[in-house]
Amino acid sequence: MIVVNTPGSWENIYAPFRHAEWHGFTITDLVFPTFLFVVGNAMSFSMRKFAAQENGAFLAKVFRRTVLIFLIGLFLNAFPFVVFTEGAWHLKDFWALRIMGVLQRIALCYGLAALVIHYFKTKGAFVFSVVALLGYWGILYFYGDQPDPYSLADNAALKFDLGLIPIKNLYQGYGIPFDPEGLLSTLPAVVNVIAGYLAGLFIQKAGNNRRAVLRLGLAGIVLVIVAMLWNFSFPINKPIWTSSYVLHTVGLDLIILAGLMLVIEVLAFKSWTYFFEVFGRNPLFIYALSGIIIKLMSMIRISGQGLSGWIYENGYTTWLASKNASLLFAISYMLLLWLIGYWLDKRKVYIKV
């Protein structure tokens, strides 16, 4: 996600590092739902502790974590609180601040999934997932404008958000006010979390063995096939987080998880994993820091441009082709964040919410 979010130039990006413009899918479109899947996977361990707690303690913990993650997302939307226009710094218009975002969706999906799992248990969570995906399909079809209820301007998710969120507080990057992390489209995203939870439970019961790997892989393949078939009537689409997109991403995550289990647990090939563990031990902090540092770099002006742009133009484009320069800048920035995570890990510093 860091590599995708911080290219040297948004004009020079290889196709796999771009999101699909509307309908469709790229590998980049797998990153965010995988975040949610991993949240659910972690919940398969943490929710066991909640089972022994009183209802009040459980709700306090879940609501506290939900609110904190949501507020961190709002903070990142507001940071650095000023904008550079007409050669000077001006205070942001906080009344026009975007309300939703990546961390806000993660917060809401975590909170809703935790409530569903805690009160409806495993079977209830599965039933909720089926109803949510089919119900969301029905909502978009019947309440979107014909003849194309899944278009940018006519989808029901946009209508729902416009009824609750002022236009100025929605994402503006699609040419019209539309938020890809909107409120209604959060409903199917909750299923990505629940799927990760169910996968975690299955692994704990089945064990890290070839049979479990095979069953996970087959389940993933089946979901991908179903998603591709569903795509003909309900297109795979990340911005409105269609139900076919949920099945597609969950299926791919199960296949990836099965592959990782085979390599790491069954074949015991683990020497390469530490690089990724560094990110996994402080994921929220590193993600938030990635947004803060790049914005701070942009505030430092050199020859009329931000420090990040100056480094890109003078340190990368002078000896690399445009797309390679942009990609290497993103990789370099990701490695900088890795070094910070490595420093924290070596000092046993783990920042959690």
Same domain, yes or no: 248 and 289 = no
Question: Does 199 map to a domain?
Answer: yes
CB atoms within 10 A of CB 54: 9
Same domain, yes or no: 264 and 324 = no
Same domain, yes or no: 230 and 332 = no
pTM of the predicted protein model: 0.94
Question: Of 229, 248, 270, which residue sits at a domain end?
Answer: 270
Same domain, yes or no: 244 and 335 = no
Question: Does 68 map to a domain?
Answer: yes
Question: Does 275 map to a domain?
Answer: no
Domain count, the chain: 2
Question: Does 108 map to a domain?
Answer: yes
Reading the chain (353 residues) residue by residue, the pLDDT tens digits are 899 999 999 999 999 999 999 999 999 999 999 999 999 999 998 888 777 778 888 999 999 999 999 999 999 999 999 887 777 788 988 999 999 999 999 999 999 999 999 999 999 999 999 999 999 999 999 999 999 999 999 999 999 999 999 999 999 999 999 999 999 999 999 999 999 999 999 999 999 999 999 999 999 999 999 999 999 999 999 999 999 999 999 999 999 999 999 999 999 999 999 999 999 999 999 999 999 999 999 888 888 888 999 999 999 999 999 999 999 999 999 999 999 999 999 999 999 88
Same domain, yes or no: 147 and 46 = yes
Nearest to 239 by CA among 10, 28, 96, 66: 28
Question: Does 6 map to a domain?
Answer: no
Same domain, yes or no: 266 and 301 = no
For 318, the domain range is 281-353
Question: Does 325 map to a domain?
Answer: yes
CB atoms within 10 A of CB 14: 11
Length of the chain: 353
Question: Does 11 map to a domain?
Answer: no
Cα 28 to chain center, whole Å?
Answer: 10
Give the tokens for residue 101.
Answer: 């975002």
Question: Does 12 map to a domain?
Answer: no
